[in-house]
Amino acid sequence: MAATDLSVLVVDDDFRVANLHAGIVDSIAGFTVAGTANTLTAAREVLAAGPVDLALVDVYLPDGSGIDFVRELRCDAMVLTASTDGSAVRAALAAGALAFLVKPFPHTELAARLAAYARYRRILATPQVDNARVDAALQALRPTNTAASGPATVASPTKDLVLHSILEAGSPLSAGEVATAIGISRATAQRYLANLVGTGTLRMRLRYGSTGRPEQEYSAAVGEAKPER
């Protein structure tokens, strides 16, 4: 974990969903997972263990309301829930949530919200702010679907190699497997993979083993053509 990384607590009653969201967080440069929790009790234990910058919180938890939990937090929060109740949206925003995402949503949507949150934090990192900076910070929290026009899509031979290795593979690959296949470091592979997930070119899911934390694996997004030989 780098000193400047933003730490994220993921709270969801479904451990697979919690791990999936944690995997998305881990795939984005500048973020690290402080912990995952399936109950409010477990979430409070993570908070007691160390500082957290952002909590991703479900509404319906076995031992209480995620919205009430957001209200007690001393860090930022986003609500990720299957609830489509308009009153839940109002309650979450009133409690202090910076965003409300209705599940299920594309992995790229959460990635975009996290990137937006990082911009929000950077804009407000100065000791003094004016109205223009406040407006810019609030606007940053509402990402638009313009990622394809950003600098992250600049052509790169390494990025092309990473993408080609995924498209050519007969099955999903981990960052380590991509790194081995094309001769780059795992960290470099992870960085390009995260970008390709963010632009919707690749999709990420978790590979579960018999023990330990699940590993992130990558495959082509639906409709992505396999390159010709």
By the 8 A CB rule, do 124 and 141 touch?
Answer: no
CA distance 170 to 177: 13
By percentage, how much of the chain surpasses pLDDT 70? 87
- Between β-strands 76-81 and 202-207, what pairing exists: parallel, antiparallel or unpaired? unpaired
Spell out the domains of the chain, with CATH numbers in brackets. Answer: 6-140 (3.40.50.2300), 151-220 (1.10.10.10)
Taking the C-alpha atoms of residue 88 and residue 59, their distance in angstroms, rounded to an integer, is 8
Q: List, as one string, the DSSP characters of 136-161.
A: HHHHHTS--S-GGGSGGGS--HHHHH
Calculate the alpha carbon distances from 128 to 4, 125, 135 in Å: 20, 9, 14
pLDDT value, residue 222: 66
The pLDDT value given to residue 154: 47
**pLDDT of 28-80, one tens digit each?**
888 999 999 999 999 999 999 999 999 999 999 999 999 999 999 999 999 99
Calculate mean pLDDT across residues 144-162: 58
> pLDDT by residue (tens digit) across 77-114?
999 999 889 999 999 999 999 999 998 888 888 988 99
pTM, full prediction: 0.67
